[in-house]
Amino acid sequence: MTIITTAPIDGQKPGTSGLRKKTRVFMGPHYLENFVQAIFNGIGGAEGKTFVLGGDGRYFNDRAAQVILRMAAANGAARVIVGAGAILSTPAASHLIRARGADGGLILSASHNPGGEDEDFGVKFNSANGGPASEAVTEAIYAQTRGLRTYRISEAQDVDLTGAGERRLGATVVEVVDPVAAYADLMETIFDFAAIRAMFDAGFALRFDAMNAVTGPYAREILEHRLGAARGSVVNAVPLPDFGGMHPDPNPTWARDLVAVLNGAGGPDFGAASDGDGDRNMILGPGVYVSPSDSLAVLAANAHLVPAYAGGLKGVARSMPTSAAVDRVAAALGIECFETPTGWKFFGNLLDAGRVTLCGEESFGTGSDHVREKDGIWAVLMWLNILAARGEGVGAVLAAHWARFGRNYYSRHDFEGLDTGAAEAMLAALRARLPDLAGAEAGGRRIRAADEFSYADPVDGSIASGQGLRILFEDGARIVLRLSGTGTAGATLRLYLERYEGPGGDLGLDPQVALAPIIRAAHELAGIGAHLGRSTPDVIS
Ligand code: VG1
Ligand code: CO
């Protein structure tokens, strides 16, 4: 074991989900090592502890895993459970941490950000409950990065991670496990596999686009092997270091090939895509795109059809920018509905306390209390189980949902690659005006309230402030603005737009048309053109 002298490195502050930087930054001298030592220090040391380790297979995943193993050994860890090939999807890592009673886990991923030597890399730390480290733990890790003077690393050869089995690194046991098996077994305990299999046997066709990211092996095993979907239903199924040049963000822009197949003649009955680390999902039907906010609401309304949730839901939670569609379902079910800041770490306490069963975000993330992460394959299986139980297609289920609950027209507009100073100045100017906006008119509607979202955790009372600017209209329409916390260069503005149409109203509009007055109001109120010189977004979802 060697103690290496280092110095604090600026900017190692985790964002919405872990620390993300350009891959070359992570590969730079001491960068990864400093952050990993800060994690161990920030959680009170690694001595005698058990960790889970794996990643989404992006460039540098394999090298980083070897560094972390040597550091875990040098810091006295008792055991590290690693996915073979250093592969684990984020939900599979969450499950392993919980199932094995580990003290935490390190997930090597920048999720939906592109991978490669000139793209992005990231490290996330999850705690013993399997979920993303809380704000308090994240702060403790960041504080450690600012005072770090040394790190510990063993001098050793690479550990063979090619097949399952136990190896040793000094006194530390390195247990290499099949990355898929335990997760696939968990899915069998939640869903009615027989009903889904019968649907496939009857000719139901699916296309799952793994976007050359981590879900390929999981989707093949579960959908094709265990459930009997036709061979070849899972496409782009091999995780590649650069994701084959794909941008593994499951939305209509980056998964446009899949959208085209579902919109074309003779396409499959169901389409889905996942992101880099397997925690997100996009759901499609023939000619139908399910907005993630609607997906959460539909899953909540139909969860009783799925064996694991047949006894009912304890409650639901959504991130603040997610539409209020699920709120209507919660009201109908008579269960609690929580509104949290963006990022899965804010759901952890509610799940641990047994206050909620389902959670979701507008950014293609849905999950339940089966793990402590959002879970892309789980969401796909939820939909398949519900379709099998109802004997209906995606379009019919969605139409029936709107006919009962009304429709929350919703869209997110992303403006990428912005000058950080200009984006912050724009939000600062709007923030200053918020107190005066109540009562004003915009886009033909009256503003009821305008504020900056702040969250008091109902379980531990911790406060998260500065979580997005909200402009709330009297009729329930809403504009939300915040800056992304997952990018690695410049700033990305996320503009969230919503308005509600009751069950008797016009439910079949294009959301961009339905939201046009709200979009105009948002541009006027925030001065997007004047501040950023931009009128059209880069990505619309
Ligand atoms: C984005 C999403 C957020 C999600 C986060 C991590 O964050 O908006 O809902 O939790 O990514 O997801 P931001 O700060 O860029 O808006 V993952 O799948 O990229 O770890
Ligand atoms: Co992700």
Q: How far apart (Å, rounded) are the C-alpha atoms in residues 490 and 34?
A: 24
Query: Cβ of 439: how many Cβ atoms within 10 Å?
Result: 11
pLDDT digits (tens, 9 = 90+) for 265-323: 999 999 999 999 999 999 999 999 999 999 999 999 999 999 999 999 999 999 999 99
What share of the chain has pLDDT > 90, as a percent? Answer: 96
d(CA 375, CA 367): 5
What phi and psi values does residue 386 have, to the nearest 5 degrees? Answer: -65, -45
Please compute the mean of the pLDDT values over residues 524-529 and round it to a whole number: 95
Q: How far is the CA of 486 from the centre of ligand 1 (A)?
A: 6
pLDDT at 503 over 90: yes
Q: Let me know: does 339 contact 297? Beta carbons within 8 Å.
A: no
Task: State pLDDT tens for residues 240-272.
Answer: 999 998 889 999 989 999 999 999 999 999 999
For residues 493-521, average pLDDT: 96
User: For every residue of 29-79, which 3-state class applies, written as one string?
Assistant: CCHHHHHHHHHHHHCCCCCCCEEEEEECCCCCHHHHHHHHHHHHHHCCCCE
- With contact defined as beta carbons under 8 Å apart, do 45 and 75 qualify? yes
Ligand 1 pocket: which of 363, 372, 469 to mutate (most atoms <8 Å of CB)? 363
pLDDT tops 90 at residue 443: no
pLDDT class of 488 with cuts at 50, 70, 90: confident
62 φ, ψ (degrees, to nearest 5): -70, -45
Say yes or no: CB of residue 275 within 6 Å of ligand 1: yes
Task: Identify the pLDDT of residue 261.
Answer: 96
Query: What pLDDT is recorded for position 246?
Result: 83
Task: State the closest ligand 1 atom to the C-alpha of 485, by its place in the atom list counted from 1.
Answer: 14
Can you list the domains of the chain with their CATH numbers? 2-178 (3.40.120.10), 183-405 (3.40.120.10), 407-540 (3.30.310.50)
Evaluate if residue 489 carries a pLDDT over 90: no
Say if residues 471 and 518 touch (Cβ distance below 8 Å). no
pLDDT in tens, 3-50: 999 999 999 999 888 999 999 999 999 999 999 999 999 999 999 999
- Atom from ligand 1 closest to the CA of residue 492: 15
Q: What is the pLDDT of residues 377-395, one digit of tens each?
A: 999 999 999 999 999 999 9
What is the distance of C-alpha 442 from the center of its chain?
Answer: 33
pLDDT one-digit tens code per residue, 39-90:
999 999 999 999 999 999 999 999 999 999 999 999 999 999 999 999 999 9
Please identify, by atom number, the ligand 1 atom nearest to the C-alpha of residue 275. Answer: 18
Name the average pLDDT for the chain. Answer: 96
Closest protein CA for atom 17 of ligand 1: 111
Q: Which ligand is nearest to the CA of 278?
A: 2
Instruction: Note the pLDDT of residue 247.
Output: 87
Catalytic residues: 111
Q: Which ligand has an atom closest to residue 20 CA? A: 1
Q: Which ligand is nearest to the CA of 213?
A: 2
DSSP labels, 309-359 = GTT--SEEEEETTS-THHHHHHHHHT-EEEEE-SSGGGGHHHHHTTS-SEE
Q: Which residue has the tokens 């459970």?
A: 81
* Under 8 Å between Cβ of 405 and 481: no
Q: How confident is the model at residue 172 (pLDDT cuts 50, 70, 90)?
A: very high
Mutate to test the pocket of ligand 1, among 16, 214, 282, 366 (most ligand atoms within 8 A of CB): 16
